[in-house]
């Protein structure tokens, strides 16, 4: 295997073990702490075996330290919530499982069925309500981008990116028409406000609608529990059996859940409805305000140069500022993708500039047409 690829895998194993250990250290739940520490030890073992492979090609290689990316992820976790790290680790475990199965198939080895065990464990950790998560305000801003990860940091990055790219395209389109600075500022400000209000309204509706839907489902489940508690208990036991428990274990767990009406409905909410109680506690107004602010922060970047500069100087500064903003956003995305900062940053810049170039060209054509 290629030496650089082996070294990259070794670094990934080291980083993964470091993150598992670091998150385990702050847990107060004993069982969860033990699970995370066990996962860390497994990854350390993987790293040791990977180091041996690397040393076969390069004997002088030593076990690397955790990377700057992993340390930055841990620091950001203190602000945005450690579930952002767990989600990323889940993606890594998923890729490990895919690669393991692929290698076994290529070598003619039999698939054991245990290849996804680590993934199942880390997904269970991610859903564990005992996981110590920080990051209160921004954690409300999750619903709009749940399809790409479901955590506050990713949503924050994408919210700012939405504002930057959309307003840069708008400002460049108007600037291409060679209109006055006041017109550009008016149009850009209108774009900023319209986009931010739209994002805020979308967030408010999303969070509020979800809460109302969940509350309705809980009300129906409560009625069913009051009407036929034994039937609900049987359904819960069957659900546990479907997850792999024995009949005796499933029945014991269901009996324990139904010791009191409060514990019964709480268990049914989690197990049958798959509702996270934190989503019920989230404020629609907090989500709206947060999305407004994040979009506006991104949208102001291409607009502010036209406040004190005119003509091509304002356009150049606007493009330069936007390039820096796009590269920063692209770099932040590497916390989730594992790609190089240079690759992701440059890719984001290229896409953003391409969108701005198209709108600038259209604006220029419209301006010439009107002038003619």
More confident residue, 199 or 110: 199
Q: Which residues lie below 8 Å from residue 327, measured CB to CB, with a gap of 6+?
A: 345, 346, 348, 349
Summary mean pLDDT of the chain: 75
The pLDDT assigned to 281 comes to 61
List Cα–Cα distances, 91 to 117, 140, 306, 370, in angstroms: 13, 22, 42, 52
The pLDDT assigned to 304 comes to 92
**Among 133, 18, 30, CA closest to 81:** 133
Tokens read off for 349: 């810049």
The pLDDT assigned to 148 comes to 34
More confident residue, 204 or 239: 204
Give per-residue pLDDT as tens, 135-151.
444 444 344 334 333 34
- C-alpha span between 114 and 21 (Å, rounded): 23
Residue with tokens 């070294």: 7
The pLDDT assigned to 153 comes to 58
b/e burial code for range 116-147 (CB count within 10 A of at least 16 → b) = bebbebbbebbeeeebebebeebbbbbbbbee
Give per-residue pLDDT as tens, 22-62.
888 877 777 677 777 877 887 888 888 889 988 888 889 89
The pLDDT assigned to 141 comes to 39
Mean pLDDT along residues 196-224: 77
Residue 301: is its pLDDT beyond 70? yes
Q: Which residues lie below 8 Å from residue 125, measured CB to CB, with a gap of 6+?
A: 32, 35, 36, 86, 131
HSE, side-chain direction, 13 A CA sphere, residue 238: 7
Contact yes or no for 254/236 (Cβ under 8 A): yes
List Cα–Cα distances, 64 to 9, 42, 178, 195, 297, in angstroms: 11, 17, 55, 45, 38
């Amino acid at each position: 295997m290629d030496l650089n690829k082996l070294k990259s895998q070794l670094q990934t194993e080291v980083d993964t073990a470091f993150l598992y250990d670091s998150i385990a250290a702050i847990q107060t739940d004993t069982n969860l702490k033990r699970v995370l520490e066990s996962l860390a030890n497994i990854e350390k073992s993987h790293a040791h075996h990977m180091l041996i492979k690397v040393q076969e090609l390069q004997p002088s290689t030593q076990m690397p330290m955790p990377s700057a990316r992993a340390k930055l992820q841990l620091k950001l976790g203190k602000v945005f919530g450690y579930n952002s790290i767990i989600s990323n680790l889940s993606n890594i475990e998923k890729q490990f499982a895919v690669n393991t199965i692929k290698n076994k198939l290529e070598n003619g080895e039999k698939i054991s069925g245990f290849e996804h065990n680590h993934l199942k464990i880390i997904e269970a950790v991610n859903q564990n309500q005992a996981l110590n998560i920080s990051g209160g305000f921004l954690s409300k801003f999750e619903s709009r981008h749940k399809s790409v990860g479901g955590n506050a940091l990713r949503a924050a990055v994408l919210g700012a990116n939405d504002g930057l790219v959309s307003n840069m395209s708008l400002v460049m389109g108007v600037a291409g028409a060679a209109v006055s600075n006041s017109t550009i500022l008016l149009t850009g400000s209108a774009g900023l406000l319209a986009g931010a209000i739209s994002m805020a309204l979308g967030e408010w509706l999303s969070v509020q609608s979800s809460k109302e839907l969940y509350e309705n489902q809980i009300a129906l489940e409560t009625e069913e529990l009051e009407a036929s508690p034994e039937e609900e208990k049987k359904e819960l036991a069957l659900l546990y059996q479907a997850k792999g428990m024995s009949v005796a274990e499933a029945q014991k767990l269901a009996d324990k859940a139904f010791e009191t009406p409060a514990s019964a409905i709480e268990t049914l909410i989690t197990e049958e409805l798959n509702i996270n109680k934190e989503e019920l506690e989230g404020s629609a107004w907090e989500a709206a305000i947060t999305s407004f602010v994040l979009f506006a922060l991104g949208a102001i970047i291409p607009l502010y140069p036209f406040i004190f500069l005119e003509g091509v100087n304002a356009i150049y500064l606007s493009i330069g500022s936007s390039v820096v903003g796009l590269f920063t956003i692209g770099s932040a995305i590497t916390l989730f993708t594992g790609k190089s900062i240079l690759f992701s940053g440059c890719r984001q810049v290229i896409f953003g500039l391409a969108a701005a170039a198209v709108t600038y060209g259209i604006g220029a054509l419209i301006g010439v047409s009107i002038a003619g």
